[in-house]
Structure 1
Amino acid sequence: MAHSTLLEAVDRRVREAGPLVARIAREVWELAEVSHEEAESARLLMDVLEESGFAVTSRGTAGVPTAFVAEWGSGEPVLGFLPEYDALPGLGNEAVPRREPRKDGKTSGHGCGHNLLGAGLVGTAVALKGVMEERGLPGTLRVYGCAAEETEGAKVYMAREGLFSDLAAALHWHPMAYAGVFNLRLAAMNQLAVEFFGRTAHAGMEPWKGRSALHAAELFAHGINLMREHLEPTARVHYAFQRAGESPNVVPDYARVWLFVRDADRGRVEETTRWVERIAEGAALATRTASKVELRFGMYDLLPNGPLAERMQVHLERVGVPEWTEEEQRFARECQENFGVEARGMAAEVLPLSDEVTLGASSDVGDVSWNAPTMGCTMPAWPQGISAHTWPVVACGGTSIGPKAALHAARVLAGIGAEILTDEELRAAARADFERRTRGRPYVSPLPFGE
């Protein structure tokens, strides 16, 4: 554990960064730019970092136009931060405890709290810079502008270029309904475009002259659903029909299915992907059409890190959850009532450190975790019982609840960040844990060649 005087300095610097955190959270919430379009949000974060003494060393990083990298300091250890700032389509909502579209007509919204996520991590970096300056601590702080997490996350492209390989550690957090440590595994994933090509014909006059791509897609989907019975419990396969014909009177000559394959690790995902390809071939054979399966995007599973998780838990318990006002709790309960869940308000306690459970969701943080020791935490930013990607999340992110969560997360992250910078034994233990987990399994980018 860091010396109390160091933590006092950390807490003081985080408090000083409070207005900056609140400003970023509010302005990015108002912008609500979706993946790959978050240019103004990225510019805001870069401007704040430059105003705080950081140098933006890369723009359009790894070929992602709205990604960036900013640094301060020199030499080792190098500590990384992973802010995100993209919103979700169709979730625009006023900062009120009910479903109400924004008055300005903005239809997108921060239904995953990325306005808070980015604000908290930038605030952490700025606070740690102040601590390092006043105490003369060596090292480099590096902020990665992680664009487009909700679609094709920039972290995967950054990982392909080796941009995380020199980090002592990477820190992240995520707004949630509870406070806990990311001592868990998230699933690896492939995104596939499955296409079928047939031949048009008059569906009433001479259907025998056509070859239905839609029938092939339907048969493919049936095969996928039969396959599910024989997958292990860690696997997830889900799909959506993107193209399936234009008119009932025309035999469709083209159909496209967008499909996700998830599982506990890359090996299992790749094995299931090969099975999916064979099912597509079979569907095409049965319908006398042609098939094409294209890998569009992939991600690694998220690796935990034991020493960092244990230390993160110490700091999370030290900081605790925000003290909610009665007005904030009332807002949270109204959100819950209007969403149809029990009105329990905001979480008031920190969860104990969990075992390394595997969840079915995926994140591009996983690719970072295969390149450097990585750890994060969650902080309550919306009411208990509410899922991410919903209007109450957007609403709470535009009130005092959201920035309060981001500032508390910054205290936790700055506390463990200060320890990583000053505790050589902690860095060594984190590196040893990372090497044990990845031994014999070097990182190979899951991105398709040429992407």
Structure 2
Amino acid sequence: MSTAAGLKRAAYAAMERRADAIASLSDELMRTPEPGYAEYATAARFGSWLEDLGLTPRTGLAGTGVAAVLRGRDDGPRIALVGELDALALPEHPLADPATGAAHACGHHAQIAAVAGAALGLREVMAELDGSVALIAAPAEELGDADALLDAAAGAPGGADGPDGAERADRAEFPVGKAELLRTGAFDGVDMALLAHTGRGGGPRFSVGDTLNGSCLVRARFGGRSAHAGSTPWLGVNALKAATLAAHAIDAQREAFPEDESVRVNYLVTGGGSALGSVPSSAVLHAMVRAAGVDALRRAAETVARCARAGALALGARVETDTLLAYLPLHPAPALDDVVARNAGPVVGDAPTARGRHLGACTDMGDLAHVMPVSHPYCGGAAGDHHSTDYRVVDHRAAAVEPALYLAGTVVDLLCDGAAEARRVLRETPPRMSVPEYLDLRRSITRRRTWEET
């Protein structure tokens, strides 16, 4: 029987022989960005890579997702290596698609290349591992158009306009892909999951154990009454001023959010019409609410909705609020993070590393973390800040090849010797909830309410 060290050497050698191809795949995908739930070319390219490895991928999962399985010598634990297919909407980015405005300003292309590279190496050693590996390309990690998502959610199971359990074949129920993959069963049989994400420029070459916020979208649509702004303004109800008061109320709440809940609220007020001579009869406040825990997220979202009601009450306006859960907070599994860190150390060498930070961003790996152990390490190779026009991967080895190496090494450690390490991780990290409980939680947060001062 080969040792874990020997199996890693064989897997690493196979990946190093094709390191240029892994890096080239990352660069190729960076230059062909696609928006969420429409990543057809990216999914096809990943699928063709898997087919070249002799695998038979399943396609069309949650619309565009792709999955294949590398099988070991028995039916031990199954580990998912996950990459994200989509780019985000950033039309001003130099590498944005001119037709869709999508740009890879978050490094998802490198994740796909890392999973593809790890698959190449693991194929060489699976016959001596006790379990299996699911290779999953997930759609739609980034949020799409907020209004479209909120309108769709109003008719979703648990939403105001749709019966619980209603199936809609024409679109996804959830705004992010891993939630949809969980709902449709693509993660059935998976015991734990790993995803390596590029960090921001100037950050550590490797970080693991970081926690991230969850988030909700809140939209408040204010309705007033138009009137002549000069002659008879008292006959009108100024919806824009109602929205502005709501925004001031949100700002007044900031010091009331406990520091350990990491609450952040970003908002945008739009509308009010274009005629200065009329009292504005409509306005909209959009807010992104983030927090480190589910209960804190619920409270913060309700605070924003309450502020919207206050603005409407003050002006005598009508307001309709929609709340949509976007991401659950990410709390990775320390036992799994330990195995990843042990494998990343030799790969990144003396480069700067970090562990256990709290980051204000969000990811739907947080959704997976509620139903299985996950690890979400950050890697190097990027310049600029996430979601900005100057963000891009400049070192594809650091962003794709290095993660491929330590993800494959982690799998070897987990599944060799009767999968003892994987079984230890599972013992030490019981899931927070079942998939049905998770789906109930998601649906319970999404809601529509209307208030009108008469």
Query: Do both proteins adopt the same fold according to a TM-score greater than 0.5, normalized to the shorter chain?
Result: yes
The TM-score, its normalising length taken from structure 2, stands at 0.81
Q: Is the 8 A contact 1:203 1:251 kept in 2?
A: yes
1:219-252 per-residue CA deviation (whole Å, 9 max, x = no partner) reads 1111111111100121111112243433322322
Aligned partner of 1:154 among 164, 177, 188 = 177
1:292–1:68: structure 2 CA closer, same or farther, 3 Å change rule?
Answer: farther
Q: Which residue of 1 aligns with 2:248?
A: 222
**How far, CA to CA, are the matches of 2:19 and 2:373 in structure 1?**
28
- How far is 1:419 from its partner? 1.5
**How far, CA to CA, are the matches of 1:5 and 1:91 in structure 2?**
48
138-147 or 182-191, which moves further after superposition?
A: 138-147
Q: Is the 8 A contact 1:180 1:351 kept in 2?
A: yes
Q: Which residue of 2 aligns with 1:123?
A: 117
**How far, CA to CA, are the matches of 2:102 and 2:279 in structure 1?**
36
Q: Is the 8 A contact 1:175 1:378 kept in 2?
A: yes
**How far, CA to CA, are the matches of 2:128 and 2:344 in structure 1?**
26
- How far is 1:174 from its partner? 0.9
Q: Which residue of 1 aligns with 2:313?
A: 285
**1:393 maps to 2:387:** no
Where 2:229 maps in the other structure, the secondary structure is coil
**How far, CA to CA, are the matches of 1:159 and 1:307 in structure 2?**
23
1:55–1:204: structure 2 CA closer, same or farther, 3 Å change rule?
Answer: farther
Q: Which residue of 2 aligns with 1:342?
A: none
**1:73 maps to 2:76:** no
**1:139 maps to 2:162:** no
Structure 1 segment 45-444 matched on structure 2, within 5 A: 45-59=46-60, 61-62=61-62, 65-73=63-71, 75-88=75-88, 89-93=90-94, 108-132=102-126, 135-151=127-143, 152-161=175-184, 163-164=186-187, 166-176=189-199, 177-233=203-259, 234-320=262-348, 349-352=351-354, 354=355, 356-383=356-383, 386-394=384-392, 397=393, 401-423=395-417, 424-435=419-430, 443=438, 444=440
Q: Which amino acid aligns with 2:379?
A: M
Q: Is the 8 A contact 2:263 2:291 kept in 1?
A: yes
**How far, CA to CA, are the matches of 1:70 and 1:450 in structure 2?**
36
**1:27 maps to 2:25:** no
Q: Which amino acid aligns with 2:66?
A: F
**How far, CA to CA, are the matches of 2:352 and 2:185 in structure 1?**
35
- How far is 1:190 from its partner? 1.0
Q: Which amino acid aligns with 2:351?
A: E
The CA RMSD over aligned residues, in Å, is 2.8
**How far, CA to CA, are the matches of 1:118 and 1:366 in structure 2?**
19
Show structure 2 runs of 5+ residues with no match. Answer: 144-174, 449-454
1:309-341 per-residue CA deviation (whole Å, 9 max, x = no partner) reads 1121111111116xxxxxxxxxxxxxxxxxxxx
The TM-score, its normalising length taken from structure 1, stands at 0.81
1:208–1:436: structure 2 CA closer, same or farther, 3 Å change rule?
Answer: same
1:298–1:392: structure 2 CA closer, same or farther, 3 Å change rule?
Answer: closer
1:341-364 per-residue CA deviation (whole Å, 9 max, x = no partner) reads xxxxxxx61415x2x443221111
Q: Which residue of 2 aligns with 1:341?
A: none
Moved over 4 A (4+): 104-108, 436-439, 447-451
1:137–1:228: structure 2 CA closer, same or farther, 3 Å change rule?
Answer: same
**How far, CA to CA, are the matches of 1:196 and 1:58 in structure 2?**
42
| Residue-pair matches, total | 404
**How far, CA to CA, are the matches of 2:18 and 2:125 in structure 1?**
12
Q: Is the 8 A contact 2:206 2:348 kept in 1?
A: no
- How far is 1:374 from its partner? 0.6
Q: Is the 8 A contact 2:246 2:307 kept in 1?
A: yes
Q: Is the 8 A contact 1:305 1:434 kept in 2?
A: yes
**How far, CA to CA, are the matches of 2:207 and 2:378 in structure 1?**
6
- How far is 1:108 from its partner? 4.2
Q: Which residue of 1 aligns with 2:442?
A: 446
**How far, CA to CA, are the matches of 2:431 and 2:101 in structure 1?**
46
1:133-173 per-residue CA deviation (whole Å, 9 max, x = no partner) reads xx343433222222221214201222344543532320100
**How far, CA to CA, are the matches of 2:213 and 2:248 in structure 1?**
24
Q: Is the 8 A contact 2:35 2:100 kept in 1?
A: no
Q: Is the 8 A contact 2:215 2:291 kept in 1?
A: yes
**How far, CA to CA, are the matches of 1:138 and 1:311 in structure 2?**
17
Q: Is the 8 A contact 1:179 1:377 kept in 2?
A: no
Q: Which amino acid aligns with 1:50?
A: E
Where 1:55 maps in the other structure, the secondary structure is coil
Q: Is the 8 A contact 1:112 1:388 kept in 2?
A: yes
Q: Identity over the aligned pairs, expressed in percent?
A: 25
Q: Is the 8 A contact 2:371 2:432 kept in 1?
A: no
